[in-house]
């Protein structure tokens, strides 16, 4: 799967924040370095100066000394917190952010960001309200207790997430192409669309409008984060669909389409590139790519196949017929 998908990111982005929720999870500097090396080995020769940034899994298995050394050596670029049971391969996650204060002190000391999957796992909370509940019950108290901690709320899906970032200093947020371009009627109204099922779930039209307003505003606290997840159809089409949307192939076209409809293309480069570079303190890319609004004359691929015969459906094919991408 890695060989089949890494090129979609490496050909369009200098940086990818690589999530650590493998099986087993990436909980050490050596594990992060090994995964980074596998990614780079799989990247195609025509990659645009591709530089994976490795996140380490926030877990009791993390050794604080090793964490500090990995950050100092430039191997570890962030830490990712998953509520246990919230999403794919999150069983090694936590039940409370407060349990990891010692690790967060190291993040503060080293100016390293905590990335948060902001979703409550309380079964009594409606699935469409779980982001708001987590932000109020867990992340707000952490930000109050550790105001110097740099936090990225990953893949915000609600107006509550946008408001949280606006109200809390030292926070930023990523927004995905699918949360910008779709709302829950697209997921559910005409039969469940497993290819749109992700965590956190795609929410209401009002929530989507809040995400679009934040993304297109030019506010430097909001940046593209694709949260691209290549689950094969064998895992998506069945009694229990895996959560994830594979949007690396056409994510830029999707976002450009959203910005174009809001007459906000002047802010597109900031959202997809420079905001993230500034937030993470990394060198902006030298390469440029150009998106052009024009009808695509050739057939747009709707899926990819791995060497083992697995098929992965590509998100954004409709938008990809309206935009071309070139150097």
Other beta carbons within 10 angstroms of residue 300's beta carbon come to: 16
- Kindly report the CATH class assigned to 2-289: alpha beta
Q: What is the rounded distance in angstroms from the CA atom of residue 97 to the CA atom of residue 4?
A: 35
Give, for all 327 residues of the chain, the pLDDT tens digit. 999 999 999 999 999 999 999 999 999 999 999 999 999 999 999 998 999 999 999 999 999 999 999 999 999 999 999 998 888 877 888 889 999 999 999 999 999 999 999 999 999 999 999 999 999 999 999 999 999 999 999 999 999 999 999 999 999 999 999 999 999 999 999 999 999 999 999 999 999 999 999 999 999 999 999 999 999 999 999 899 999 999 999 999 999 999 999 999 999 999 999 999 999 999 999 889 999 999 988 899 999 999 999 999 999 999 999 999 987
At residue 180, the pLDDT reads: 98
Distances in Å between the alpha carbon of 62 and those of 23, 65, 75, 153, 287?
Answer: 15, 9, 15, 21, 36
Is the C-alpha dihedral spanning 10, 198, 300, 208 positive or negative? negative
CA dihedral (53, 58, 64, 65) positive or negative: negative
Helices (H), 47-201: 64-72, 101-110, 130-134, 140-145, 159-167, 177-181, 184-188
- pTM equals 0.96
pLDDT at 87: 84
Compute and round to an integer the Cα radius of gyration of the chain: 19
Q: Is 209 a catalytic residue?
A: no
> According to the model, what pLDDT value does residue 93 have?
84
40: helix, coil or strand?
helix
The residues, any chain, with a CB within 8 Å of residue 156's CB and separated by 6 or more, are 118, 131, 162, 165, 173, 174, 175, 179, 211, 214
Q: Write down the pLDDT at residue 89.
A: 77
Residue 188: its pLDDT value, please? 96
Coil vs helix vs strand at 186: helix
Of 227, 263, 297, 310, which is the active-site residue? 227
In this predicted structure, what is the pLDDT of residue 135? 98
pLDDT for the residue numbered 85: 83
């Amino acid at each position: 799967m890695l060989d089949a998908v890494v090129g979609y990111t490496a050909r369009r982005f200098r940086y990818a924040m690589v999530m650590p929720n493998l099986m087993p999870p990436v909980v050490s500097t050596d594990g992060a370095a090994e995964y980074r090396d596998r990614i780079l080995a799989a990247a195609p020769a025509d990659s645009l100066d591709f530089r994976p940034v490795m996140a380490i899994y926030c877990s009791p298995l993390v050794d604080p000394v090793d964490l500090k050394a990995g950050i100092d050596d430039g191997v570890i670029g962030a830490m990712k917190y998953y509520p246990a049971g919230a999403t794919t391969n999150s069983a090694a996650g936590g039940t409370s952010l407060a349990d990891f204060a010692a690790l967060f002190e190291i993040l503060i000391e080293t100016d390293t960001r905590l990335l948060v999957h902001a979703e409550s796992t309380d079964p009594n909370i409606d699935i469409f309200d779980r982001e708001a509940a987590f932000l109020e019950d867990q992340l707000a108290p952490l930000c109050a207790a550790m105001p110097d901690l740099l936090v990225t709320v990953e893949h915000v899906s609600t107006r509550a997430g946008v408001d949280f970032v606006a109200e809390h200093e030292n926070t930023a947020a990523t927004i995905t192409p699918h949360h910008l371009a779709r709302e829950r009627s697209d997921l559910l109204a005409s039969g469940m669309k497993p290819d749109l099922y992700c965590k956190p779930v795609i929410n209401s039209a009002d929530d989507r409008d809040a995400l679009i307003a934040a993304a297109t505003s030019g506010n430097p606290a909001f940046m593209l984060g694709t949260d691209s997840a290549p689950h094969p159809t064998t895992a998506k089409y069945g009694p229990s669909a895996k959560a994830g949307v594979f949007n690396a192939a056409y994510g830029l076209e999707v976002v450009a389409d959203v910005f174009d409809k809001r007459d906000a293309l002047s802010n597109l480069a900031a959202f997809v590139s420079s905001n993230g570079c500034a937030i993470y303190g990394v060198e902006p890319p030298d390469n440029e790519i150009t998106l052009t609004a024009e009808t695509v004359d050739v057939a747009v691929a709707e899926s990819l196949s791995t060497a083992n015969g697995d098929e992965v459906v590509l998100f954004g094919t409709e938008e990809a017929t309206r935009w071309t991408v070139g150097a």
